[in-house]
Amino acid sequence: MPDHVIVLQKQQTKNFGCLLFLSNGTPMFCAGDEFMNTQGGNNNPYNQDNVTTWLNRDLLQKNHDIVRFFTLRIAFRKTHPFLGRSRCWREDVHWYGVGTEVDRSLWSHSLAFCLHESFQQDTDLYAMVNAYTEDLHFINQEGRASD
């Protein structure tokens, strides 16, 4: 597989892993996601006892950077328990895009949000996610500019 494809796969794994660990509720992922194990697109492998569903532990060492990323996201989430609270965010979250407006189009590649959490004595969280293949310049709508 070409290097640029692997780089993009790793970036997208980090993007969606980040969104998972920043979302409300209990994050759920399959064993092996933390080291990019795959079922080759098979979303219903319950009756397979073969290489399709077996964990390829060789990927653990090959993708150690993704394992480290998941480990750090889990640690971050543990220090911010308000992310896993049992009620909806509703008025506590403000949604943005690279600017003030959220891109709700089918081809959107970015999302930003600010989660306000003063009642649990935690700090506000501003997240910016770029799932595009190119760099995007986000404007932090609640503070300073960032890339």
Q: Are 114 and 141 in contact (CB under 8 A)?
A: yes
Instruction: Indicate the number of domains in the chain.
Output: 2
Residue with tokens 């290489």: 51
64 lies in the same domain as 114: no
Please count the other Cβ atoms lying within 10 Å of the Cβ belonging to residue 111.
Answer: 20
Asked if 115 and 56 sit in the same domain, the reply is: no
Together in a domain, 63 and 18: yes
Per-residue confidence (pLDDT) for residue 145, from 0 to 100: 47
Pair (4, 61) in one structural domain: yes
- 40's torsion region: left (phi>0), alpha (psi -120 to 50) or beta? left
Distances (CA, A) of 5 to 1, 16, 82, 136: 7, 16, 35, 19
94 and 66 share one domain = no
Mean pLDDT score across all residues of the chain? 87
Do 55 and 7 lie in a common domain?
A: yes
**Domain check: are 64 and 104 in the same one?**
no
One domain, residues 73 and 10 = yes
Q: Name the strands in the sheet holding 93-96, side by side, starting at the edge strand that comes first in the sequence.
A: 93-96, 110-115, 125-130
* Enclosing domain of residue 14: 1-40+47-79
pTM over 0.85: no
Same-domain check for residues 117 and 144 = yes
Tell whether 68 and 6 lie within a shared domain.
Answer: yes
For residues 105, 39, 29 and 115, what is the CA-based torsion angle, rounded to 10 degrees? -20
> What is the number of alpha carbons within 13 Å of residue 103 lying toward its C-beta?
17
CB neighbourhood size of 27 (10 A): 16
The per-residue pLDDT for 119 is: 63
pLDDT at site 46:
84
Tell me the pLDDT tens digit for each residue of 112-131: 999 887 566 778 889 998 98
Q: Are residues 2 and 55 in the same domain?
A: yes
State yes or no: pLDDT of 48 exceeds 90: no
User: Do residue 1 and residue 63 come from a single domain?
Assistant: yes
